[in-house]
Every structure is written in structure tokens, then in C-alpha cells.
Amino acid sequence: MSIVDEQDLRVQLDAVLDAISPPEAPVGAAARKGKVIQAGRSLGIVAGLAIVAGIGVGIPALLNRPALEVSRARPTVMVQQTCMTVPTAARGTAISPELVAERAEPRPAADSPRGGLPAAAIAAGGCAWLRP
Amino acid sequence: MDSRTEAEFAEFMRGRWSALVRLGYGLTGDERLAEDLARAALARVYASWPRVLRAGDPDVYLRRIVLNASLGKVRGRRVRKRRTGSEPEPETAPAARVDGDRPALVTALMRLPAGQRSVVLLRYWMDMTEAQVAAVLGCSVGNVRSQASRALASLRVGEDAAEEVSL
């Protein structure tokens, strides 16, 4: 092989490649393969759209999910009476012991599981449950 | 695709088939592989035929597919060779022209890097301008020029080396 210049290369390439005699063009086979490629692309597009739609529907649904329903049953709260004196903030109020005695529900000792104070004792200056 | 477009594609394919197989042979040095490349490229063109027609120049698209596919085949064979440590089994039936009876020019072309080989075939066999080659390969005209120059130099050096060996 000897290549003199570009023109020589052209001539040699022509000679070598033109010696190849390809068979008949396989139009049918290429078209069939092309259809398979098309189908694959369509499937890919559909799958992609389905994923996008899934994300579009799923994420807002997750974000806007209603809060878990709160139980409507009344909670039971146990309060222990610890003070027997009037809170400091309430000391200055002008409520007479008589008024307190009027508003205070007299709780008989038998009603209260832990005993309780008679209304009069509450009125005298202890802690009290007041009714509005 | 309707029957009119099918007929249009069939006509396009028949018109390009021989040149495409020859280009594939120049790129791979293997006739069967060249036919596979041409068939696969035309199938891809068929799959996006309306878009290819809208783009304006189906030949550029077609040649680009063949060139890229040939690079992929070459890379795939190299990877298989590296993994197995031996020459991989050909994917198709054995080629009619194997290394022994391959023309000297084709053997010399196979020694060139893929980019230079593509430039040589497009520029000197398909008689494309440097700008057209650049458009097909997706590179600059300067790059085409330098690749062509290097390829020519390599082909000349290869020839000298072959002569030295024969002496």
C-alpha cells in the first residue's frame, strides 16, 4: 500500500469500498426493528408520565392528609390539693369571706373521697372551688 | 406511519443502503458488522422518520448514527476483550473478509483511532467538505482538519513501517 497524497487516498478508498457488494436493502427488517424501537419509546413515555402523575397525585395527598382524629372522650385528670392558703395574687381582692361562703358549694365530707373541708372552713381562708 | 411515508422511507433506505454498508465496512473492517450497523441505523431513522424529515437533512442524522454505533461496537468489543483476555466471539456470522484477506488500506484504517478513521472516510471517500464532516461528527472544522492531517501522516508512516518490516 502506498499513499502519495489526498487524491491517491480517495482513489484507493473508492477502489476498496466499491469492491464491497452489499445484499438487497432489508427494508422490511429495518421497518420491523424501527417499529419495535417506536413501541419501546412509547412505553417509556407512558411509564414516565405515569411516574410523574403518581408523584403529582401522591405527594399532595400525603401532605394534605387530615390529622388523626382526636379522641372525644373526656380525659380524667386528677388534681391533688396541695395548698390551703389563698394564692398571693388573690390576697388583695376584695372578696369577703361571706361571699366566698355563698359561692362555695358545700361539699360534705362523705362526697369527697379524700375527705374535704366544710364550706365554712373554706370561707375562713382555705382553698376553695368556686362556682361562677 | 402511513403507507405513503412507508414508501418514502423504503425509497430513502434503498438509496442509502449500499453507501451505508460501505461506510460501515470502512469503519469496522467487517462486512457483516457493517450490514448490522447500517440496518440498525436505518431502523432508528425509521423510528423517528417524521422528526428526521422535519430536521431537514436525514443523511447527516443517518451517518452520525452509523459513526456513533461503530464507536460503540468497537468499544464493546474492546471491553469484552479486556474482561475475557481473549478475542470475543463475533456477534454475527464470521465476516467474508477477515484480517488475512482484508485489503491493506482497510487494515491501515483499522490502526487509526476511530475519530481519524471517520474523518478519512467522510472527507476522502464521501467527498464531504470539512464543514460537512464537522457537522456530522459534531466538532469544529479545525478539529476535522487536524484529525485529517494526523490520519494522513499515520497512513504514510504505517506504509513506511510496513515496507521496513517486509525488507
Residue A129 falls in which region: left (phi positive, over 0), alpha (psi -120 to 50) or beta: beta
C-alpha cell at A72: 372525644
User: What's the pLDDT at A36?
Assistant: 92
Chain-wide mean pLDDT for chain B?
80
Question: What are the cell numbers at A101?
Answer: 361562703
- What is the ipTM metric for this complex? 0.73
Across all residues in chain A, what is the average pLDDT? 74
Q: Which run of H or E residues covers position B12? A: helix B3-28
pLDDT of residue B131: 93
Asked if pLDDT for residue A107 goes beyond 50, the answer is: yes
Look-up: residue for cell 412509547?
A42
Is pLDDT larger for residue B163 or for residue A64? A64
Q: What is the mean pLDDT of residues A47-54?
A: 94
Q: What is the pLDDT of residue B92?
A: 35
Which residue would you say has higher pLDDT here, A57 or A67? Answer: A57
% pLDDT > 90, chain A: 18
Residues B125, A14: C-beta atoms closer than 8 Å: yes
Residue reference for cell 504505517: B158
- With cell 452520525, the residue in question is B64
Residue B6 confidence (pLDDT): 85
Among B5, B78, B77, B83, which Cα is nearest to B36's? Answer: B77
In angstroms, what CA-CA distances link A72 with A65, A67, A69, A75, A76?
20, 14, 9, 9, 12
pLDDT, tens digit (0-9, with 9 covering 90-100), for A67-104: 776 667 777 777 777 656 655 555 555 556 666 666 65
Q: What is the pLDDT of residue B165?
A: 46
Number of cross-chain residue pairs from A and B with Cβ atoms under 8 Å apart? 91
Cβ–Cβ under 8 Å, residues A33 and B39: yes
Tens of pLDDT, residue by residue over B46-82, are 988 888 888 888 888 888 888 888 877 655 665 565 6
Q: Which residues does chain B have with pLDDT short of 50?
A: 88-98, 165-167
Query: A51: pLDDT confidence band, cut at 50, 70 and 90?
Result: very high
The residue in chain A having the minimum alpha-carbon distance to the alpha carbon of residue B23 is: A17
Q: Is the dihedral of CA A18, B111, B69, B143 positive or negative?
A: negative
Say if residue A118's pLDDT is above 70.
Answer: no
Instruction: Give the start-to-end residue ranges of the domains of chain B.
Output: 1-97, 103-167
Whether A13 has its CB under 8 Å from any CB of chain B: the answer is: yes
**d(CA A48, nearest CA chain B) in Å:** 19
Nearest Cα of chain A lies from the Cα of B83 at a distance, in angstroms, of: 30
| CB of B106 closer than 8 Å to CB of B29 | yes
Whether residue B108 and residue A25 make contact (CB cut-off 8 A), yes or no, is: no
A19-30 b/e (C-beta count within 10 Å ≥ 16 → b)? ebebeebbbeeb
What confidence score (pLDDT) does residue B101 get?
66
Chain A residues with CB under 8 Å of B31 CB are 20
With the CA atoms of A50, A51, A57 and A60 taken in that order, what torsion angle do they form, in degrees rounded to the nearest 10?
Answer: -170
Cβ neighbours of B48 (radius 10 Å): 16
Asked if residue A13 has pLDDT above 50, the reply is yes
CB B46 within 8 A of CB A34: yes
Cα–Cα distance, B32 to B26 (Å, whole number): 12
CATH class label, B103-167: mainly alpha
Q: Which residue on chain A is closest to B48 by alpha carbon?
A: A38
Q: Which residue has the cell 361562677?
A: A132
Which one has a higher pLDDT value, A130 or B48? B48
3-state class of A20 per DSSP? coil
The rounded distance, in Å, linking the Cα atoms of B122 and B59 is: 12
Q: How far is B139 from chain A (nearest CA, A)?
A: 21
